[in-house]
Amino acid sequence: MPYVEPFNFEFKKLYTPKNFTPCSNQSDLVTVHFDSILKHYVLHVNKEVLHKLSQSNSNDFACFYQNIIYGQSVDRYDRMGNRTKFTHDYVVPLNVEGMLVDCRSADEKRILQEDAFTFVQHQKTPLNLVKDRKASVIMYGIDTVSRTNLRRLMPMVFEFLKSPGWYEMMGYNKVADNSFPNIFAILTGYSPHSAKNQICDVYQPGCLDEIPFIWKEMKKEGFLTAYAEDTLKINTFNYFKPGFFSRPTDYYFRPLLDALEKETNNLYYSGCKLTYCLGRRLANSYIFDYCRQFMQRFVADRPIWGMFWSSHFSHDDWAMLSAMQHKVLGDLLNFEKDGSFEHTIMIFFSDHGSRFGPLMTTKESFLEERLPMMFIYLPPWFREKYPHYVEALAQNQNRLSSNFDVYNTLKHIINIEGLVEDTKWSYDCPQCQSLFYPLPENRRCSEAAIPETYCTCHNYEEVTEDNGTWRMAELVVDRINQYLQYNNLQNQCSNLTLRVVNVTEVRMLEIDENVSLRKGLRHYHTKFQVHQNLAQFFATVLYDRRTEELQINVELISRINMYWRDSECLDDVIQKVYCICLSRIRNNQTTLTMQ
């Protein structure tokens, strides 16, 4: 894989640091503490803050909370409970998993502060829990972070991740375009397409409950499980998908998030369409607190598995990472302070790099998009007990790996002693393996189930002369139009016409490569723009310049500029990429066509 200089000229030309914006400048009036003796959460009222907010030295005030009540749907809350008055050192009932709080002046006429809290409440340890020590697994994920961009925009976090016990998978390559199929591969070992053929269609109601997610196996082996995300709009399992009908994990944050987004004041960061603040707190803060509570309560007593996924600050603006590095570093330092790293294998990762926006104009955009960050931490006792696995993981840092290897690693952790002989590994990648075993040094993308479209191992060189590059891009546009017609979308989506070819690259063949392609067919990258709304695309094709034979899977063509407004007339998450809605065509099309 080519090395990318993080602070090259192209990056410096594009980058303007972002400043962190707090959601509130007030100190916390109410804070939450866990009483380890009572085994309950306790609400504390800070009298100094009270006096400052009330502008009085009097302790006369009134605080109330409303319980977030779950309904029949596991993905939504039902309603808010009655207002319940509480005072300093109030013990939170065990049935309260989330609450809205408001404190007022004694006459209740003036609101001093409003807030919201969520709680990881007690779950009884099963009687048959095996006492042999197993490593807990916590997956802390941030959407849209390439390994290069982490170095650029979160250098302090990157320095922390160089600490003993951390291993960076520098050859980690995504296997699909966007978040869902990449995360799905890690959590199931399947691609959505294979799952549709083998199990069910994830876009149909009830299917997600049938999918063999890794947390089901974790739970079967005695792990307590949790899953949390910080945005409703593009939630992994609900964005143009039906979500779950049964609670997927022991602790499931979505109904709490549903209440927080609907019952608190939502604030947005300039240029981002995802909620930045939920009331007084960052959306990300809620899932971090949930993760921290989950570990504080259980990690020393029993094995746990949890995935905590953050999108709200990183999805829409690639540079926002710079504003959030102190927040993310603080999260990791708090885990360390709590002693959670003594017990936990932590996977600090992303799904992909930037897929649209200014970084897509750089020469390194191909690598930026396809090489997400992937760091794995092994606790001291694990390193001491399994030195051969540690040695393999260290070796694999510089070898090609994929999402399916991570899935196999999770399976391996469940069965670390090899007691289960019929372990079923990744379905979509029979040649993939656990990262605790040495990966082949000369591994190819096909052996890691990485399609050519996303493979960063091959050497491509720019085609400087025309040599049919315009015609090739024109044929790709024709295929997109045929795709729209095949799916009966021509009455909703505009026919596309080629405006400009930005870059064309041809793949250089390795000396030892066994090429089974007919003479003349070569792999090409083409980056181009169409007239309609200046939509930009990137495609990997097989093309014969002499015969104009072209082989391409349209659904692997990437859209590399923001398109959510352009395609709002469609609900299909794949078809949206290629659709410029007739109702959204901008008025400048005639001018553009003439250029």
- The alpha carbon dihedral of 22, 373, 297, 385 has a sign of negative
Residue ranges of the chain whose pLDDT lies below 50: 516, 589-595
Per-residue pLDDT at 593? 32
Tell me which residue of 396, 410, 370 sits closest to 147, measured CA to CA: 370
Per-residue pLDDT at 513? 55
The token duo for 380 is 């001291």
Angstrom distances, CA of residue 379 to CA of 98, 131, 204, 392, 506: 32, 18, 40, 16, 44
28/45 Cα distance (integer angstroms) = 9
Per-residue pLDDT at 592? 35
pTM of the model: 0.93
What is the residue-averaged pLDDT of the chain? 92
Per-residue pLDDT at 69? 96
26/425 Cα distance (integer angstroms) = 51
Per-residue pLDDT at 595? 27
DSSP 533: G
- The alpha carbon dihedral of 478, 482, 483, 484 has a sign of positive
Q: Are strands 498-507 and 558-559 parallel, antiparallel or unpaired?
A: unpaired
Across 39-65, b (16+ Cβ under 10 Å) vs e yields: ebbebebeeebbeebbeeeeeebbbbb
Q: Is 320 helix (H, G, I), strand (E, B) or coil?
A: helix
Q: Are 278 and 286 in contact (CB under 8 A)?
A: yes
Q: Which residues make beta-bridge pairs with 42?
A: 33, 91
Helices assigned H by DSSP within 397-542: 403-414, 469-486
